[in-house]
Amino acid sequence: MGAIDWFSLLHPVLMILFVYPVVGATIRLGILVRERRLEITPLPPRVGIEHVDHGRWVTTGAVVAVLIALLWSFAHHWGDPADPFQGGASRLAPLLLVAAGTLASCLLLWRVKAAGLRAAFCLLCWAGLLALGSQPEVWRLGDNPLSGAFWSSHYWNGVLLCGLLLFAMAARPEIQRIPRIRRLHVAAAVLTAVLLAVAAITGTRDLLQMSVAS
């Protein structure tokens, strides 16, 4: 295995060893937060803080994992003479800057407090993922939301998943304060769990197809 092959393993390893276990803990803590709010179980306020912290780590881990997969797509074509990366270093450099800005936007969500800044960095991070994923080197089954290929695409599952996670991270104060936003957060969390399951299935499918093709 070459360096590019080892790099390709970082995405599934990060998801399996970090993101999915932390997701399980986050869901459990979310249930405890709800039980505390409804006074079903007497629990300390620390439960809510831990739920938020776990959610931040899940979001950041998912964004990093997607960025790794996208950068691997560029690196793979860079070293493939049969299907080379078009545009050379003059095109790759701006893409790397976009990747750095996307990661920085996600990390800044940990720090900013103002609602406008939270919304801005959330949208910047998600827009960065979409911009990188729209490149021809990134394999997508389909780009039409009305087609079945779109919904069975591992890439689009991952990007939609990141969008939901970024929303939850950016809207944390509103989720805590506004019941309507809190209900939206719960619905989004259910959809997030579904997308995580679909991403695991489609990711395994794509790895099997790649191994057969090679």
Please tell me the predicted confidence (pLDDT) of residue 211: 63
Please tell me the predicted confidence (pLDDT) of residue 212: 63
Amino acid at 141: L
Please tell me the predicted confidence (pLDDT) of residue 90: 86
Please tell me the predicted confidence (pLDDT) of residue 77: 80
Please tell me the predicted confidence (pLDDT) of residue 213: 58
Please tell me the predicted confidence (pLDDT) of residue 214: 57
Please tell me the predicted confidence (pLDDT) of residue 206: 82
Could you tell me the pTM of the whole model? 0.92
Please tell me the predicted confidence (pLDDT) of residue 115: 95
Which of 144, 166, 145, 141 is closest to 155 using CA atoms? Answer: 141
Reading the chain (214 residues) residue by residue, the pLDDT tens digits are 667 778 778 899 999 999 999 999 999 999 999 888 888 888 888 899 999 999 999 999 999 999 999 999 888 888 776 777 888 788 999 999 999 999 999 999 999 999 999 999 999 999 999 999 999 888 888 889 888 889 889 999 999 999 999 999 999 999 999 999 999 999 999 999 999 999 999 988 887 876 665 5
